[in-house]
Amino acid sequence: MRRYLAVAAALVLAGCATRPDSGIGDVRIAKSAQVALYTIDEKADGALRSATVRGDKTQDILLLSGGGSDGAWGAGVLRGWSESGRRPNFDIVTGVSTGALMATLAFLGPDYDDELGDLYTKVTDKDIYRNKGLLGALRGAVYDRTPLENELKRTITPEVVEKVAAEHRKGRRLYVATVDLDKGVLVPWDMGRIASSSEPGKVDVYRAVLAASAAIPGVFRPVYLTADDGTPDTHVDGGTKAPVLFKPFMIDNDVPTKNVWVVVNSAMPLYNPSGKVGANINKLMARTISEMLRIMLERKLYQVYATARNGGATFNLSYIPDTVKETDPLEFDPAEMARLFEAGRAAGKAGRWEMEPPRLVEVERIPMRRR
């Protein structure tokens, strides 16, 4: 909870902040690279049907949510799923926030399970951020994310980016989301298209988009993506608008069997388990933000469920059950994350998936349409 109080205070102070000087993670986008960096045009990308291109009769779509260090749950689910022998070769993978950081390794398959597991069981706070103190918010962030960017450089190598490009050429798709705060819009990025770019700086761009997707406003500094006209756009954590990324065009109507798999890196309790708030202003702010994010997740999951069912796809949901203790999303404790990883691993290996969001009433249920 201490971390959440710092976040709440940061959001207040950030109202007085000025834009900091350019720093790590800022990227200038050359005009010739615009095709690689764009908000997805559904008409343009709708023709890119990965399963159809490869002649498959089944389409599998994986959605990875935000959740900070609770991403250990999702990493464990993927590991256990691989061990069960039932994990699909996903046609589409999407990620938001910590899900965006996981998405590349999930997209590249079980060969990267060990590396993904290490990211969520062996890192500590100092591997992700440095505390700048509350006064740091006056320059846009309480925490310095340089350690995270160094981790991205270690994980997202030129070789990894080339492997993403190779899978993109096969018709598979990898998307992550940021929020453009200047325009107030959710921005999905086609990471395979970035990876396939001929631009020499594409690896830096790839890493910058991932850093932006996890840049919690007030907690981490935004990433400024500067177009060729010299105008910077302020990009932050995609989870500020959508906890998971899913668009109707992703469903391939020409494939008879379609499955949407959603891994939520958080719990979904009926009641907030944090106890009474009291009159403390920081606690009031923190709880209010927490409740806003909680209802946003519930509504987004129902939207994904409705879109999947109306599109003729199964809906399959994994989230941290009430019987498993969550970690503090901003505290990276290897022992706690390892515990959560093993719980996710057991769930993934056993194939424990919910067929609908929690607590639906009968009138909210949607039969799957056959297309």
CA angle 43, 304, 42 (to 5 degrees): 5
Residue 179, φ and ψ in degrees, nearest 5: -120, 125
Residue with tokens 């999905």: 188
Q: Which helix (H) or strand (E) holds 81?
A: helix 71-84
- In the residue annotation, 237 being an active-site residue is answered as yes
Residue with tokens 């761009």: 205
Q: Which helix (H) or strand (E) holds 296?
A: helix 281-310
Residue 261: strand pairing partners: 62, 316
- In the residue annotation, 69 being an active-site residue is answered as no
Dihedral sign for Cα atoms in the order 12, 15, 21, 25? positive
Selecting among 97, 213, 266, 318, the annotated active-site residue is: 97
Q: Residues 158, 165: contact at Cβ < 8 Å?
A: no
Rounded-to-integer distance, Cα 10 and Cα 354, Å: 36
Q: Residues 248, 50: contact at Cβ < 8 Å?
A: no
Rounded-to-integer distance, Cα 37 and Cα 163, Å: 18
Residue with tokens 């990894």: 160
Selecting among 26, 45, 70, 237, the annotated active-site residue is: 237
Rounded-to-integer distance, Cα 1 and Cα 3, Å: 5
Residue with tokens 């325009």: 183
Rounded-to-integer distance, Cα 327 and Cα 195, Å: 33
Catalytic residues: 97, 237
